[in-house]
Structures are given as C-alpha cells and as structure tokens.
C-alpha cells in the first residue's frame, strides 16, 4: 500500500493496529500472542502492507539479543532501503505509533536504532533515516522525538576522534572524485577539467571519512594558495588558470567547505576539519603565514529584502539616501534590487560603499547569541574574525542572487581562536578595523 500524503501515515498505522486487534488476532497466552504478532508482521513486511505498530513495539522493548525482534529489524531495514519516499514516510510513522505510549521511555528509542544498525550492518542507513526524519518531522506527529534520539546516537558514532582525514588529488579513485562533483555545495564543479584543476598540485582538498563509510566524504574543504588574501572567487576557480609553484605562497585560502550528508546536520566536525587542515598545511608548507576564507554571504539578500527604511537608514552614508529611506517601508527591497544592478555594471562609489556597510552590519547581527548568517555562524563560532568585505567577488548567478556579488574573508589566526570565541559569546564578534570603518 502506498500513501501519497505523508499526513495520512499515522492514520494508516493506527488502522493497521486496529485491524490487528480484531477477534481471533490475539487468542492464547501472552507468548503466543507475541509470536503471532511477530509472524504476522513478518508476512506484512514481505507483502505490500504497512506493518502492525503493536508488533513493532518489540523493536523498542525486546533485548538486543532477542532473535525474533532482530529478525523483524532486518526485515524492516530491508524494506525501508528498497522503499520510495511515500512508503518510507509511512514506515517511519509506524515506528512512531509503535513507541508513542511506551513509558518510561528511557533508552528505548536508542535501543531501537542500535538494533536497526546492528541488524542492517549499514551506518549509511542510520544517516538516511535521520535525513528522512528531518524531512518529515513536521508532517508526522511525534517523529521529532525519534529524530532527536537518533541524532544523539549519531553524535557518538561520528565522534571526531573516529574520523580519518584524507588528502584528495587527481590520483584518488574516480568514484571519489565523482562524489566531490556531486556534493560540492558552494561553487559548482562544472566538468572533469574543472575537477582536475581544483585538485592540481598547487591546490589542496581534504575530507573527513568514517571507517564504516570509508568511500563517502562526510565534509570536505578546497584550498588555494596565494601571495595575498584573495578577493575574487572566479579567479580562484578558473579551470584554465595556470598551475603555479608553491614557493611564493604565503596565504592559504579556504574557498569551499561542503557538508555532504543531510542526516548529519547539526553534528559539527567542520571546526575540527579546519584545525587539522591548518596543521597539515603548516607541516607541508612552513612558509605559509596566514589562513583565510573567501566565503559567500548566503543570507544577506533575504535579510536586506525584509528591512524597512527605519531599520537601515542610519547605515547609508549619503544624507539624501538616508532621508529617502527613513520613511520607506520597502527600502530594503529597493536597495537589494539596486545593489544587484550595480554589481553588474560600473557601480558608483556611494552605492558600493552602502552595499558593503549593509553587508558588514548584517554579518555582525546576532540572534540568540549566534550570527544570523549560517556561514558567519560557522566561522565566527570556530574563532575566526571578519577581515574584509569584497565588492563583486562572485559574479555567478548564485552569487548575485544571494549576496549581490559580495563575499567576505574570515581570517584564522591559531593563537587568537579562543579569544575570538569568547568575544562572540559576549555578543561582540571580532571584526577588523577595515570593516569597522566602512
């Protein structure tokens, strides 16, 4: 049975439970009733019906050595792996229904997932499960509880101490390079020539791997080298740019960091990746003096488009512009369009300065003690500082759409990371003087 609307999944699971409770379904002693439920669930899993939530309780309650429950776990996992989206949602709803009234809950949810992991022998399945739970947690009542229980287990299973750092280059397996092309989330890799250039001898690419998912990069970073802090990403990723020697390299530029597994969202190991990479680079290239990013500002356009003139007028350097914006409820949207047009032409200095000031203000705004912008939240939370705003640094359609072509350099100074994190915790993110004076 396929359920097209995920909101019907719980209702279908409840109906399956009601059907199981009809006369004749549970006659005999408690052990025989349990055996009957397990047998019926096995038959349902082999056909095209939803499993009985009552029988699924064994996945929560039976010991991890219980043979019947473990067989059901294998059957459920096999069916889940083969299922399409609608059926997966329905199967998750059945799990929710099976455990919704278990009291005290204690570690029953953790036991469920340990059993599924042990019987499927696939850590990837657990990551897929959480990705699906994140997708449907607002559609299936109670699913968020299971999602949080699985997230806690994944945090332990993906402890940074278990991860392996690997250097990826053109000699790496083609299957791995294909994954980088697919997972690149910041600057699209458009061809194999583009891929070859990004892992050339004057570049570096590093990724974290888990020993139970050894062919899947969990997160990777791409690094370029320069004699100065880079200000234009198209120049960095140009596939026909000549390969240079590294003898004059003084700056390492992290220009792309991509998480690959949605199911590991919120399980942070990106900060450990950068720390490890900096250590690796210093060992290999001791002449390096500085480490910086060339980063997008993905939330800027959305933020600016929602601002009123009252909110932004003080940020505009020109008096006439301030007066015009002050009483304009749509001033933010007007400035967003203006900046996008200016980025594609010869922008007047006043417009460029206004755009940079607005971006600097946005990057330092906090909500709940954390930066509004997701990329700023990552780098400032890792102890970097905002060093420089760059006008027209990303001329791609995506760059113009999300930040009017502007990008930001975050600088990592290893001996200042702890101090910068403390400043952020105090509500005062570290910002260079050049940005303060915009």
Q: Active-site positions?
A: 295, 379
Cβ neighbours for 156, distance < 8 A, ≥ 6 positions apart: none
What is the rounded CA–CA span in Å between residue 9 and residue 97? 10
Q: Do 300 and 373 form a contact (C-beta atoms < 8 A)? A: yes
What is the rounded CA–CA span in Å between residue 18 and residue 7? 18
Determine how many CB atoms are found less than 10 A away from the CB of residue 289: 9
Strand ranges across the sheet with 290-293:
164-167, 204-209, 219-226, 251-259, 290-293, 407-412, 385-390
| Exposure on the CB side of residue 403, measured as CA atoms within 13 A | 26
For residue 382, give the nearest of 427, 413, 409, 407 by alpha carbon.
413
Beta-bridged to residue 409, according to DSSP, are 388
């Amino acid at each position: 049975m396929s359920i097209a609307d995920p909101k019907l999944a719980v209702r279908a699971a409840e109906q399956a439970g009601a059907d199981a409770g009809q006369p004749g379904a549970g006659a005999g002693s408690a052990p025989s009733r349990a055996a009957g439920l397990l047998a019926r669930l096995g038959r349902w899993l082999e056909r095209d019906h939803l499993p009985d939530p009552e029988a699924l309780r064994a996945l929560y309650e039976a010991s991890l050595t219980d043979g019947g429950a473990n067989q059901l776990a294998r059957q459920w996992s096999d069916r889940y792996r083969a299922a399409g989206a609608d059926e997966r949602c329905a199967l998750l709803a059945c799990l929710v229904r099976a455990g919704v009234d278990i009291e005290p809950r204690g570690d029953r949810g953790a036991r469920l997932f340990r059993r599924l992991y042990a019987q499927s022998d696939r850590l990837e399945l657990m990551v897929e499960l959480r990705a699906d739970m994140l997708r449907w947690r607002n559609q299936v009542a109670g699913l968020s509880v299971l999602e949080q229980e699985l997230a806690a287990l994944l945090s332990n299973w993906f402890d940074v101490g278990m991860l392996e750092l690997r250097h990826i280059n053109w000699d790496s397996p083609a299957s791995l390079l294909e994954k980088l092309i697919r997972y690149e989330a910041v600057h699209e890799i458009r061809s194999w020539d583009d891929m070859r250039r990004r892992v050339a001898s004057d570049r570096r690419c590093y990724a974290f791997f888990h020993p139970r998912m050894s062919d899947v990069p969990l997160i990777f970073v791409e690094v370029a080298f320069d004699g100065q802090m880079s200000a234009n990403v198209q120049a960095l990723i140009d596939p026909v740019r000549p390969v240079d020697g590294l003898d004059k390299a003084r700056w390492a530029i992290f220009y792309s960091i991509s998480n690959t597994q949605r199911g590991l969202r919120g399980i942070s190991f990106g900060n450990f990746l950068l720390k490890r990479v900096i250590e690796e680079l210093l060992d290999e290239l001791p002449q390096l003096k500085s480490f910086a990013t060339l980063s997008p500002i993905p939330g800027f356009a959305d933020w600016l488009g929602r601002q009123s003139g009252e909110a932004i007028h003080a940020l505009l350097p020109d008096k006439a512009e301030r007066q015009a914006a002050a009483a304009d409820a749509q001033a933010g949207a007007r400035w967003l369009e203006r900046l996008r047009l200016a980025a594609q032409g010869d922008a007047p200095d006043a417009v460029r300065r206004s755009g940079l000031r607005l971006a600097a203000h946005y990057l330092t705004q906090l909500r709940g003690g954390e930066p509004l912008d997701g990329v700023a939240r990552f780098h400032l939370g890792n102890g970097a500082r905002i060093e420089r705003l760059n006008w027209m640094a990303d001329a791609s359609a995506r760059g113009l759409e999300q930040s009017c072509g502007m990008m930001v350099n975050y600088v990592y100074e290893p001996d200042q990371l702890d101090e910068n994190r403390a400043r952020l915790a105090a509500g005062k993110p570290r910002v260079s003087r050049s940005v303060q004076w915009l």
